DNA sequence: TTAGATGCAAATGTTTTGCAGGGCT
DNA sequence: AGCCCTGCAAAACATTTGCATCTAA
């Protein structure tokens, strides 16, 4: 069991850092989400099925909830379809570009927020803790396809 | 019936501009949301009840959906609690500050987005159509209360 | 008059929960 | 061993839909 333990052990490390038991469900879900865009519970179940693994829906819900509560995943409702999505939460903060053509969700490292929290403080008397930015538009493939 | 027809008639004007029938449900819901923060369907039903009015839940859902489809309301899932909220859509674009203390949703006129779409184009090859920005933090009252 | 809006009740789909059994530390 | 995790089934909840009735244009 020496192969590709890089992934494995980093997932396990993250779990133990948060004082969470290392279970099959948590390793599978966290492992999948470290290398994928935000996914719904249903999509996670399908991905597991495609790999010959199986977890009950309630376990996936509970696992995602636990991992979110511990800051390893982020729960979002990006698409306003009423279905929650979970994504791996990298150290830094991340925004999303959502393609209106294909629905793809593209993580964006850059952030336009800048010094805006100063304005929020002075103009609105609001102390900013965090923010979320979602960008809608069209990716290259969809622009090409729609042309 | 001369009193406060300013509100009334502007709501009716907006409806007819969109070629929508002017019905009691649409006048009530649009009228309420023009002077309130984003509300869930349940909250709208309660507000109506408090005013001695009554609409079935399905009517509220359908009315909000119609008004959103016609650009008079915006459907959002700001709080990730899985419950949709509808807000009056002003002409310009608006962002929100969400207080983590009291849950209040504060409309923000300013926008930090700036020239960010140029970066999105050059770095990610993504053509920006629109964006949404949500700001989390604490309002003055909650900061005072928590102190 | 007639297309479309409403109310009611039933259906749908997502998410949560109770409980018994099993796994991790 | 002890506590937490998991699976299953049932419950809870928001939202949608079918259909008969009513209403605005």
Nucleotides of C strand lying within 7 Å of any protein CB atom: 4-10, 14-18, 23-25
**CATH number, domain containing residue B33:** 1.10.10.10
Residues B82 and B69: their CA atoms lie apart, in Å, by: 20
Lowest mean pLDDT, pick from B41-55, B80-94, B109-123: B80-94
Query: How many Å from the CA of B95 to C1' of C1?
Result: 46
Query: How many Å from the CA of B120 to C1' of D12?
Result: 43
* Domain co-membership, B105 together with B60: no
> Which pLDDT band holds residue A122 (cuts at 50, 70, 90)?
confident
Please write the tens of the pLDDT for every residue from B15-41.
999 999 999 999 999 999 998 888 999
Instruction: Report the SS3 class of residue A111.
Output: coil
Which helix (H) or strand (E) segment holds residue B43: the answer is helix B41-50
* Domain co-membership, B28 together with B86: yes
* Domain co-membership, A81 together with A103: no
pLDDT at B138 over 90: no
Tell which of B74, B90, B106 closes a domain.
B90
Higher pLDDT, B106 or B21: B21
- Burial class of residue A5 (count of CB atoms within 10 Å of its CB; 0-12, 13-18, 19+): exposed
A130/B136 touch (CB, cutoff 8 Å), yes or no: yes
B137/A124 touch (CB, cutoff 8 Å), yes or no: no
Average pLDDT over residues A1-7: 41
Q: Quick one: CA torsion of A24, A26, A31, A35, rounded to 10 degrees?
A: 150
* Domain co-membership, B105 together with B86: no
* Domain co-membership, B50 together with B33: yes
pLDDT at A56 over 90: yes
Q: Where are the beta strands (DSSP E) in chain A?
A: 39-40, 73-76, 85-88, 95-99, 105-108, 127-138
Residues B79 and B93: their CA atoms lie apart, in Å, by: 19
- Whether the CA torsion B77, B78, B79, B85 is positive or negative: it is negative
Higher pLDDT, B146 or A83: A83
* Domain co-membership, B103 together with B40: no
Please write the tens of the pLDDT for every residue from B48-57.
999 999 999 9
Q: Which candidate in A131, A139, A141, A145 is best for mutational testing of the B interface (most B CBs within 10 A)? A: A131
CA distance B25 to chain A (A): 23
* Domain co-membership, A64 together with A125: no
Q: Which is it for strands B85-88 and A85-88: parallel, antiparallel or unpaired?
A: unpaired
* Domain co-membership, A143 together with A71: no
Residues A3 and B125: their CA atoms lie apart, in Å, by: 36
Q: Quick one: CA torsion of B35, B39, B43, B44, rounded to 10 degrees?
A: 60
Can you give the residue range of the structural domain that contains B104?
Answer: 92-147
* Domain co-membership, A22 together with A67: yes
> Which pLDDT band holds residue A100 (cuts at 50, 70, 90)?
low
Counted domains in chain B: 2
pLDDT at A93 over 90: no
What pLDDT score was predicted for residue B141?
Answer: 81
* Domain co-membership, B120 together with B57: no
Residue pair B82/B66 in contact (Cβ under 8 Å)? The answer is: no
- Residue for token digits 């009056």? B88
């Amino acid at each position: 069991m020496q192969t590709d333990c890089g992934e494995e052990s980093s997932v396990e490390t993250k779990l133990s850092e948060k004082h969470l038991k290392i279970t099959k469900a948590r390793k599978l879900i966290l492992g999948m989400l470290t290398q994928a865009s935000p996914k719904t519970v249903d999509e996670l179940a399908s991905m597991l099925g495609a790999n010959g693994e199986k977890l009950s829906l309630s376990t996936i819900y509970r696992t995602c909830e636990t991992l979110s509560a511990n800051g390893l995943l982020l729960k979002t409702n990006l698409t306003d379809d009423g279905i929650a999505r979970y994504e791996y939460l990298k150290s830094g903060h991340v925004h999303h570009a959502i393609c209106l053509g294909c629905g793809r969700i593209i993580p964006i490292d850059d952030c336009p927020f800048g010094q805006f929290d100063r304005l929020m403080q002075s103009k609105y008397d609001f102390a900013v803790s965090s923010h979320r930015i979602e960008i809608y538009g069209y990716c290259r493939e969809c622009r090409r396809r729609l042309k």
